[in-house]
């Protein structure tokens, strides 16, 4: 496995490999790798002849007061895990390499995808997704992957990246991989490390709430409003006041009041101590229930 730090080194390393690879897979990460990341890397390894992983804590997607400086970092461990997952090339730049002095360009996605849910100005805000889109666009230009892999837990992020790739004509497929969960249903996240023992005990209520809403709609034919009410009850029982708990069209993120023949995204975000946790599931129209706990594989 080769590790490069600069854009010039990345291009130089890719040039001879690109000629022989049947397909190039890119897995963008901010490090602090966990079983969710490893699922992305395995998916890339299964589909692509060359697997590239980026390792970069992107400062432009953090708002003032967020955890940019304290975000978990352990490069040696990340590189060991990447090597074990079969990664061929790791791009691990510093901030100055990605955003050199005088950098003044940003990618902004309109169309209602970046100003709701996490992008609501009262929450993380649309600038979060502008930062994500900008760094991913740079990675697409640098790596020129055939397929880029993202997790379904960050459903809004995957939608934003897919729209950006479509609108800017990047010739890349955006592949999504099922959320990986702990045995009790908690979606695996790097920020789970912030949870105290007491908070960790309450955190699975997020997946239970989504499961309750999903079951109410898919099995009982309940309205979206009734399903969200039941989900909120689960959160309240765990002492969690959600930042949001919403049903949205899974492709446009417009509010969903019923299935209406289209997939519905159930999404939740909540703060537990230092950790801001998100989770989501998608209900497909005319399909049976899929338990949030059963989505993906539990972490070891």
CATH code: domain of residue 234: 3.30.1300.10
String of DSSP letters for 141-157: HHH--SEEEEEGGGHHH
Q: What is the pLDDT of residues 225-265, one digit of tens each?
A: 999 999 999 999 999 999 999 999 999 999 998 878 889 99
Same domain, 6 and 154: yes
| pTM (two decimals) | 0.92
Question: Which positions are catalytic?
Answer: 37
Which tens digits make up the pLDDT trace of 167-208?
Answer: 999 999 999 999 999 999 999 999 999 999 999 999 999 999
Q: At which of 107, 142, 177 does a domain end? A: 177
Quote the domain boundaries for residue 227: 190-294
In a domain, 7, yes or no: yes
pLDDT higher at 95 or 296: 95
Q: From residue 7, how far is each of 96, 107, 145, 201, 225 by CA, in Å?
A: 11, 19, 15, 43, 49
- Residue 21 banded pLDDT, cuts 50, 70, 90: confident
DSSP 282-297: EEPTT-----GGGSS-
Q: Does 214 share its domain with 156?
A: no
Both 56 and 194 in one domain: the answer is no
Domain boundary among 177, 207, 230: 177
């Amino acid at each position: 496995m080769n590790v490069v730090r600069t854009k010039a080194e990345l291009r130089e390393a890719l040039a001879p490999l690109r000629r022989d690879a049947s397909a190039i897979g890119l897995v963008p990460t901010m490090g602090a790798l966990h079983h969710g990341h490893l699922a992305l890397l395995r998916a890339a390894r299964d589909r692509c002849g060359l697997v590239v992983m980026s390792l970069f804590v992107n400062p432009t997607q953090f708002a003032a007061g967020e955890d940019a400086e304290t975000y978990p970092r352990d490069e040696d461990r990340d590189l060991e895990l990447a090597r074990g997952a079969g990664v061929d090339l790791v791009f691990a730049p510093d901030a100055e390499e990605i955003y050199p002095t005088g950098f003044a360009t940003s990618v902004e996605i309109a169309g209602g995808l970046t100003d709701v849910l996490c992008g609501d100005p009262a929450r993380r805000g649309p600038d979060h997704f502008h930062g994500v889109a900008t760094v991913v666009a740079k990675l697409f230009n640098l790596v020129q992957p055939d397929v880029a892999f993202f997790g379904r837990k960050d459903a809004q992020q995957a939608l934003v990246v897919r729209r950006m790739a479509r609108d800017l004509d990047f010739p890349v497929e955006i592949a999504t991989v099922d959320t990986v969960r702990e045995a009790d249903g908690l979606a695996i996240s790097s920020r789970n490390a912030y949870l105290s023992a007491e908070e960790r005990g309450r955190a699975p209520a997020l997946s239970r709430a989504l499961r309750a809403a999903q079951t109410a709609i898919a099995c009982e034919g309940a309205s979206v409003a009734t399903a969200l009410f039941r989900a909120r009850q689960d959160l309240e029982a765990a002492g969690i006041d959600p930042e949001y708990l919403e049903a949205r069209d899974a492709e446009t993120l417009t509010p969903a009041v019923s299935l209406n023949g289209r997939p519905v995204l159930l999404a939740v975000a909540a703060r537990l101590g230092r950790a801001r946790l998100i989770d989501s599931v998608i209900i497909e129209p005319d399909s049976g229930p899929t338990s949030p706990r059963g989505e993906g594989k539990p972490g070891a």
